[in-house]
Amino acid sequence: MSDEDRFIYSGPPELLPPLVEALERVVDPEVALNIVDVGLVYGVVVKDKRMDVSVTMTSAACPVTDTIIDDIETQLDRALPPDMLIHVELVWEPPWTPERMSDKARGFMGW
């Protein structure tokens, strides 16, 4: 997956830069990379002061799922307008694959 289309976004264009910056501050501690580069963010939809974020984990047995979701909510809450309702949904379809990783992440992992 190229760096240009790391996840699907639907919403006001002015929210995309702070949204991406916030998500890039969330690190998957198992691989020491941010969740955007790992490809854990599938999509973000902003409508009527509500943000729905679809994310996955590299494995259903991920021991840090709750920590990552909490970090996502915290970082987005800090970066977005205070009246924005943030909803993070954990999804398993389609399953995560290493092809979702950014070029930067693949280089870091030596792939």
**CATH code: domain of residue 17:** 3.30.300.130
Residue 111 domain-assigned (yes or no): no
Range of the domain at 68: 3-106
The pTM for the full model equals: 0.92
Beta-bridge mates of residue 46 = 51
Residue 62 maps to a domain: yes
| pLDDT averaged over every residue in the chain | 92
What is the signed CA dihedral for 63, 69, 72, 75, rounded to 10 degrees? -90
Q: Cα separation of 38 and 27, whole Å?
A: 9
Domain count of the fold of the chain: 1
Count Cβ atoms within 10 A of the Cβ of residue 6 and give its class: 0-12 exposed, 13-18 middle, 19 or more buried. buried
**Number of alpha helices (DSSP H) and beta strands (DSSP E) in the chain:** 4, 6
Quote the tokens at residue 86.
Answer: 């943030």
Does 75 reside within a domain? yes
| Tens-digit pLDDT profile for residues 42-72 | 999 999 999 999 999 999 888 999 999 999 9
Residue 6: pLDDT band by 50, 70, 90 thresholds?
Answer: confident
Q: Is the predicted pLDDT of residue 91 greater than 70, yes or no? A: yes
**pLDDT of 3 strictly over 50:** no
29-38: average pLDDT: 93
Residue 36 has pLDDT above 60, yes or no: yes
Round to whole Å and give the CA distance between 32 and 29.
5
pLDDT tens digits, one per residue of 69-85: 999 999 999 999 999 99
